[in-house]
Copies of this chain bind each other. A is one copy, B any other.
Amino acid sequence: MDLFLKSAYDEACLGRDEGGIPIGSVLVIDGEIVGRGHNRRVQNGSAVLHAEMDCLENAGRLTAEQYRRSVLYSTLSPCDMCSGAALLYQIPKIVIGENQTFQGPESYVQSRGTELVIANDPGCIELMQKFIASHPELWNEDIGEE
């Protein structure tokens, strides 16, 4: 697994071990991780801190120029909200661990000029499959489904 994707995966495992939704993310600039995070719905009672949002929040206030040479890594295909955050800050590239258990608005994001790399990593897929099977209500809540 790509080293940075592995760091996102480690964040997802941290979230799982806290009893949370196992999705992780890191933000990389010039080959260095400047922010990392994982889904905080369960831990913080948060409706907005998906992994990518937590990662961007933890990276702090960056300049437009910094975002525009960054790469966002996420273990799962970013949802509408997280894709929107990447578009807002014009993050040029997103590396996605997998899009088999969930797929965000990838075509739209690409149409706006963002490069997507889909790893479909077996470890990322297994992590989500196990979670969705064991906590379907929590998963549906996180993606706005009934």
Contact A143/B88 with A41-B61, A61-B41 known, Cβ cut-off 8 Å? yes
Most buried by B among A84, A90, A105: A84
Contact A48 B84 (CB under 8 A): no
Task: Report copies per complex.
Answer: 2
Contacts of A80 in B (CB 8 A): 84-85, 87-88
In the complex, which residues of chain B have a beta carbon less than 8 angstroms from the beta carbon of A81?
Answer: 81, 84-85, 87-88
Tell whether A59 is near chain B: CB-to-CB under 8 Å. Answer: yes
- Cα distance A89–B141 when bound, in Å? 9
Q: Which of A10-18, A63-71, A93-101, A116-124 contacts B (4 or more CB under 8 A)?
A: A63-71
Does A47 count as interface, using CB distance less than 8 angstroms? yes
**17 A-B contacts (beta carbon < 8 Å):** A47-B57, A47-B60, A47-B61, A48-B48, A48-B53, A48-B57, A63-B141, A64-B141, A79-B84, A80-B85, A80-B87, A80-B88, A81-B85, A82-B84, A83-B84, A84-B87, A108-B108
